[in-house]
Structures are given as structure tokens and as C-alpha cells.
């Protein structure tokens, strides 16, 4: 039962974070940030979000910028979901490099 609640909260956080990043990156031409996956701790106090950045060369720069502005992002998230959750979770961001990994595997397969 608890896992169902975790999954619902994770989906809600993923949707809202994606909208926040979409609004914030509109000003930055040529950059797209998407939230590929979110995980929530069992007590719903920590949210781990995986970000996919296009172009991937700017991934570290974007991740550093996001980490510097975590408090602002959490505040914005809180204003959006405050009626649906009791505690706004602490946010942790990581780069999701699964697409780069898939591209690398494809290159290796084509080379043989």
C-alpha cells in the first residue's frame, strides 16, 4: 500500500518538475531539460529526480545551475503541490545518461 502512495507522489513530482524546467529553459535557446524519472523515499521526505539534458554537452553546466537553485525550485514546487502533500520533499538532482549510453551501444554495434 505504501508503495502505491510513493508512486503517485513520484508521478506528481515528475510532472510538476517537468513543467517548472520547461518554463525556466524557455529563455535559454537551444537547451531542453526533461525529467526522465523520479523516486521518492518511503517517508516521502526525499525526492530523487533524474534529468535528461539536450544537448548532453551542457549537462554538467545545467546540473550545477539546478543544484545552486534547488531552494528556489523546491519553493516553486511547494506552491504548486501544497494542497496535495503534507511535506514538500527535499530535492536531489542527477543527470540521466541512459540515452548517451544507448547511443554508445548503437555506435559499437554499427562498427562491427
For residues 69 and 73, give the distance between their C-alpha atoms in angstroms, rounded to a whole number: 6
* C-alpha cell read off for 93: 538532482
pTM of the shown model: 0.85
Half-sphere exposure of 36 (CA within 13 A, CB side): 14
* C-alpha cell read off for 78: 511547494
- pLDDT exceeds cutoff 60 at 12: yes
Q: For residues 60 and 95, is the Cβ–Cβ distance under 8 A? A: yes
Contacts with 111 (C-beta within 8 Å, 6 or more apart), sequence order: none
Segment 65-94, tens digit of pLDDT? 999 999 999 999 999 999 999 999 999 999
- What mean pLDDT value characterizes the chain? 89
Residue 43 pLDDT level (bands cut at 50, 70, 90) = very high
For residues 93 and 88, give the distance between their C-alpha atoms in angstroms, rounded to a whole number: 15
Amino acid at each position: 500500500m505504501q508503495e502505491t502512495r510513493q508512486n503517485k507522489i513520484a508521478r506528481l513530482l515528475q510532472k510538476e518538475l517537468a513543467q517548472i524546467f520547461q518554463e525556466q529553459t524557455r529563455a535559454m535557446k537551444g537547451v531542453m531539460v526533461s525529467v526522465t524519472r523520479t523516486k521518492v523515499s518511503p517517508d516521502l521526505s526525499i525526492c530523487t529526480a533524474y534529468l535528461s539534458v539536450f544537448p548532453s554537452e551542457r549537462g554538467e553546466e545545467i546540473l550545477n545551475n539546478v543544484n545552486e537553485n534547488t531552494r528556489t525550485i523546491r519553493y516553486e514546487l511547494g506552491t504548486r503541490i501544497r494542497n496535495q502533500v503534507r511535506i514538500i520533499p527535499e530535492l536531489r538532482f542527477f543527470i540521466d545518461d541512459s540515452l548517451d549510453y544507448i547511443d554508445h551501444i548503437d555506435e559499437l554495434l554499427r562498427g562491427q
